[in-house]
Amino acid sequence: MSAPQTGGMTVGPFRVIGDSAAFRQTLATVRRIARSDAPVLIEGETGSGKEVAARLVHYGGPRAAEPFVPINCGALPDELFESELFGHERGAFTDARERRRGLVAEADGGTLFLDEVDALAPKSQVALLRFLQDQCFRPLGSSREQQGNVRLIAASNRELAPLVAAGQLRQDLLYRLMVLHLALPPLRQRGRDAALLATHFAERFARKYGSSACGFDRETLDWIAAQPWPGNIRELENWVHRQVLMCDGPDQGMGKAADAQGTVGTPPPAQSMSSYREAKARAIERFERDFLRAALCQAGGNVSRAAQSVGKERRAFGKLLKKYAIDRD
């Protein structure tokens, strides 16, 4: 079986895979960003590697020996954001039975990574903005102000500028977050990097499960490189994981497995077209199914956000998902 030589390079404890012009340009930007200590905003589609990029900035800079602390803003209720970020004193609110350090204190000297920062409610945006001004904060229930010492990196799978225009994000917060900016290219713009990554993932999963010689033939690698991968690297990794598990034995390629499993954008098998109307209906069905999957992937499984991004009402979007049995996960 033929396979491309895996390209890439090591940054700190991480091995990053790729050889395209877009990949190399992104790495060059990461290196420049890592040299400073200013806040960074990373924008990119779901699954494009925003947290990996944030870790590259951290481990490529002067704070590499200190903690890297991630927090998913989209998973935190608005009323818990300040407590999670700044900590609280005992009795500060109901169920606060003991004093607790916040993530700013946990990340002291290192990097605080705020993922899905676009999901912050207005109250949380104000709290974050206040902290960004001078890194001073006060744990809930405390009268003593403390000084933080973290580099802040924020990430979003949506462009933030349109959210400011729509009144969903404070403009002054965007200015504070976007001192430095990194836009990650989607996998479909990285040429043969998808094939390099697929080979890397296949080798890794083969080692994990003790498989031998489960790889991709040239036809499958070409097929992988030609796919749009709306879920980007995460979708590709999950797809390769499935292929390795379904590999029957040694020295067997996965070209046929790719055709059997498929992914978004997989060309459908040839069918006899008995009439123009039937052919048109099949084409529309394929388009709608692929379009819905892509929108849902880019919105991270959030139906409301996916519907909004494509200009449809949530109820109508949900009906289409049900029609084609597309699961939000």
In a domain, 304, yes or no: yes
Regarding whether 289 and 197 lie in a shared domain, the answer is no
* 316-325: pLDDT as tens digits: 788 888 888 8
193-209 and 218-226 helices, crossing angle to 10°: 120
3 state DSSP class of 191:
coil
Regarding whether 199 and 100 lie in a shared domain, the answer is no
Alpha helices in 141-192 (DSSP H): 160-165, 171-177
Regarding whether 182 and 43 lie in a shared domain, the answer is yes
Provide DSSP, 193-230. HHHHHHHHHHHHHHHHHT--S----HHHHHHHHH---T
Regarding whether 292 and 165 lie in a shared domain, the answer is no
In a domain, 155, yes or no: yes
Regarding whether 196 and 77 lie in a shared domain, the answer is no
3 state DSSP class of 8:
strand
In a domain, 101, yes or no: yes
Residue with tokens 């008995």: 274
> Can you read off the two tokens belonging to residue 45?
């589609």
Residue pair 23/138 in contact (Cβ under 8 Å)? The answer is no
> Can you read off the two tokens belonging to residue 252?
């067997």
Regarding whether 243 and 146 lie in a shared domain, the answer is no
Task: Tell me what the mean pLDDT of segment 262-280 comes to.
Answer: 49
Looking at residue 95, what is its pLDDT? 64
Regarding whether 115 and 172 lie in a shared domain, the answer is yes
Regarding whether 164 and 142 lie in a shared domain, the answer is yes
Which of 187, 218, 252 is a domain's end point?
A: 187
Residues contacting residue 222 through CB under 8 Å, at least 6 positions apart:
195
Sign of CA dihedral 221, 225, 229, 233: positive
Strand partners, 71: 114
In a domain, 176, yes or no: yes
- Report how far residue 156's alpha carbon sits from residue 117's, in angstroms, rounded to the nearest whole number: 6
Which of 134, 164, 187 is a domain's end point?
A: 187
Alpha helices in 35-100 (DSSP H): 50-59, 81-86
- Tally of domains in the chain: 3
In a domain, 2, yes or no: no
* 184-222: pLDDT as tens digits: 999 999 999 999 999 999 988 888 888 766 778 889 899
CATH number at residue 100: 3.40.50.300
Which of 143, 160, 187 is a domain's end point?
A: 187
> Worst-scoring range by mean pLDDT, 84-88, 190-194, 243-247, 296-300?
296-300
Regarding whether 171 and 87 lie in a shared domain, the answer is yes
Residue bearing the bigger pLDDT, 16 or 280: 16
Residues contacting residue 321 through CB under 8 Å, at least 6 positions apart:
292, 296, 303, 328
- Report how far residue 260's alpha carbon sits from residue 254's, in angstroms, rounded to the nearest whole number: 10
Q: How many CB atoms lie within 10 A of CB 232?
A: 25
In a domain, 317, yes or no: yes
Q: How far apart are the first and last CA of the chain?
A: 34
Residue with tokens 């705020």: 114
Regarding whether 181 and 54 lie in a shared domain, the answer is yes
Regarding whether 99 and 203 lie in a shared domain, the answer is no
- Report how far residue 195's alpha carbon sits from residue 18's, in angstroms, rounded to the nearest whole number: 9
Tell me the chain's radius of gyration from C-alpha atoms: 23
In a domain, 48, yes or no: yes
* 221-247: pLDDT as tens digits: 999 999 999 999 999 999 999 888 887
Regarding whether 41 and 156 lie in a shared domain, the answer is yes
Identify the domain containing residue 312 by its residue range.
276-323
Strand partners, 100: 88
Encoded amino acid at 274, one letter: S
Looking at residue 314, what is its pLDDT? 81
- Report how far residue 308's alpha carbon sits from residue 302's, in angstroms, rounded to the nearest whole number: 10
Residue pair 225/18 in contact (Cβ under 8 Å)? The answer is no
